Amino acid sequence: MRFSTRTRYGLRFLLRLAAQPQGSLLQLGQVAREENISSGYLEQIVRALRPMGILRAVRGSGGGYALAKAPADINMEEVFQHLEGEISPVRCLSKGRSCQREKHCSTREFWSELDGHIRSFLQQRTLQEIIESEKHSASGGNYVELY
């Protein structure tokens, strides 16, 4: 059970945007360089975020990205949903899926509760909160390795 680099990189990208002065643009290539992420890969990841509608993109030379919503209004459950694809710990809990054992399955209830627990934690966490907890421990500085 491990979250993919997609989710980790995507989150870091969003945090960079959120840390940016309101209204200014940040270029993907710059983030990629500073965070040691391949820019091609980061573009894929950002593409997955686009349908969320939290990004404002300006195309063409001098373009870049900005957040289209306040960091306090962006919760992790949404973000994970788009980056990770599906969060459900087991397939049969994904929407649209079902299973014939459903009615008498000894573990379904357990998986469902675990799923709910993770979801509600993520729902309560906003970008804003993550930035704030960052300020306490952060020393700023240069980025060396990756999460």
Partner DNA sequence: ACAAAACATATCTAATCGCTATGTTTTAAG
Partner DNA sequence: CTTAAAACATAGCGATTAGATATGTTTTGT
- Selected range binding a copy of itself among 1-9, 25-33, 42-50, 59-67, rule: CB under 8 A: 1-9
Judged by CB under 8 A, which of 34, 43, 73, 134 binds a copy of itself? 134
Q: What element of type H or E holds 121?
A: helix 108-124
**Per-position x/- string for 108-127, each x denoting binding to a copy of itself as judged by CB under 8 A, each - no binding:** xxxx-xx--xx--xx--x--
Instruction: Provide the token pair at 46.
Output: 């950002």
Rounded CA gap, 33 and 114, in Å? 37
CA dihedral 46, 51, 56, 58 (to 10 degrees): 70
Judged by CB under 7 A, which of 21, 40, 140, 141 binds DNA? 40
Contact residues for 39 (Cβ-Cβ < 8 A; gap 6+) = 28, 29, 32, 33
Q: Which amino acid is at 71?
A: P
Distance of CA 104 to the CA centre of its chain: 35
**Per-position x/- string for 1-30, each x denoting binding to DNA as judged by CB under 7 A, each - no binding:** ---xxx--x-----------------xxx-
Q: Per CB under 7 A, which of residues 66..95 are in contact with DNA?
A: 85
- Under rule CB under 8 A, how many of the chain's residues touch a copy of itself? 52
* Angle subtended at Cα 3 by Cα 17 and Cα 134, rounded to the nearest 5 degrees: 40
**Cβ contact 14:49 at 8 Å:** yes
List residues near DNA by CB under 7 A: 4-6, 9, 27-29, 37-38, 40-41, 43-44, 46-47, 50, 55, 57-65, 85
List residues near a copy of itself by CB under 8 A: 1-4, 7-8, 11-12, 15, 76, 80, 84, 86-92, 99-101, 103-111, 113-114, 117-118, 121-122, 125, 130-131, 133-134, 137-141, 143-147
